[in-house]
């Protein structure tokens, strides 16, 4: 366990080094594998995928993967889907800022996701929890249609074992989740939104019952 200091978040109980290479002596994609290496020294910047066990309230600890580290705060995504999208209401609006994280993205002539359009976006709101954006997924290596997302982004989805994941969510409350929604709208098709699926890629689709939501939070280091 990383020694606690005055500057460290006391709600962080454990941190493990992420390693998605099957067969590796340090293989660790969920934080619960026997080969997981627990970090004992705090680096200046944590690598994407790093696994954090975090106390979200007085009684519950959940697993998260670090999406990014700006030096002072960590942006983390929960390991599993937590809710069905149909249980939530997401209001769409517009923005004039190209670098807005929720700007709608579309496919360009090279069949790549581009996020330069300013229309059909999620409106600004204050929230403690949100969904991941396409921009964040692109920074992790995800691409449209191709199977390039790191394992931690699509693990715990139904049928994900077919594409190299380690945990297949086939039962329980969220067993029908083949994917989860992002916070990014489709710029060219007003009824579509972008999602991450069990085939380790990002794609766009009309709202469906087989997609869930995966919480993203920002915490102090």
**Which residue in 181, 191, 185 sits closest to 119, CA to CA?**
185
Measured in whole angstroms, how far is the alpha carbon of residue 52 from the centre of its chain?
13
In angstroms, the CA 74 to CA 163 distance is 28
Tokens of 123: 């409106």
Tokens of 118: 């300013």
Instruction: State pTM to two decimals.
Output: 0.85
Q: Is the pLDDT of residue 198 over 90?
A: yes
DSSP code at position 130: B
Q: Is the pLDDT of residue 133 over 80?
A: yes
pLDDT at residue 68, rounded to an integer: 95
- Say whether 91 sits in a helix, a strand or coil: coil
Measured in whole angstroms, how far is the alpha carbon of residue 142 from the centre of its chain?
11
Measured in whole angstroms, how far is the alpha carbon of residue 178 from the centre of its chain?
14
State percent of the chain over pLDDT 70.
78
Residue 97: other Cβ atoms inside 10 A: 11
Map out the domains of the chain as residue ranges: 12-78, 83-212
pLDDT at residue 114, rounded to an integer: 83
Q: Is 136 exposed, middle or buried (0-12, 13-18, 19+ CB in 10 A)?
A: buried
DSSP state letters, 155-211: TTBTTGGGGT-S-B--SSTTTT-SEEEEEEEBSS-TTEEEEEETTTEEEEEE--TTE
Tokens of 30: 């969920």
Q: Is the pLDDT of residue 4 over 60?
A: no
Contact between residue 49 and residue 152 where contact means Cβ atoms under 8 Å apart: yes
């Amino acid at each position: 366990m990383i020694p606690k200091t005055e500057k460290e978040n006391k709600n962080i109980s454990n941190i493990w080094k992420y390693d998605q290479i099957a067969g590796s002596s340090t293989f660790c994609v969920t934080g619960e594998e026997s080969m997981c290496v627990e970090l004992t020294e705090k680096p200046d910047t944590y690598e994407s995928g790093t696994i954090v066990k975090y106390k979200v309230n007085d009684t519950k600890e959940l697993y998260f993967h670090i999406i990014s580290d700006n030096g002072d705060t960590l942006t983390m995504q929960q390991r599993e889907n937590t809710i069905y999208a149909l249980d939530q209401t997401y209001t769409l609006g517009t923005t004039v800022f190209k670098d807005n994280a929720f700007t709608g993205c579309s496919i360009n002539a090279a069949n790549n996701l581009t996020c330069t359009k300013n229309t059909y976006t999620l409106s600004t709101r204050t929230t403690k929890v949100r969904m991941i954006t396409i921009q964040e997924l692109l920074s992790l290596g995800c691409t449209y249609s191709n199977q390039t997302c790191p394992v931690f982004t699509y693990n715990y989805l139904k049928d994900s074992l077919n594409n190299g994941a380690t945990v297949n969510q086939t039962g329980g409350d969220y067993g029908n989740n083949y994917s989860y929604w992002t916070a990014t709208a489709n710029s060219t098709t007003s009824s579509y939104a972008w999602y991450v699926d069990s085939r380790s890629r990002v794609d766009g689709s009309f709202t469906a019952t087989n997609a869930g939501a995966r919480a993203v939070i920002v915490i102090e280091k």
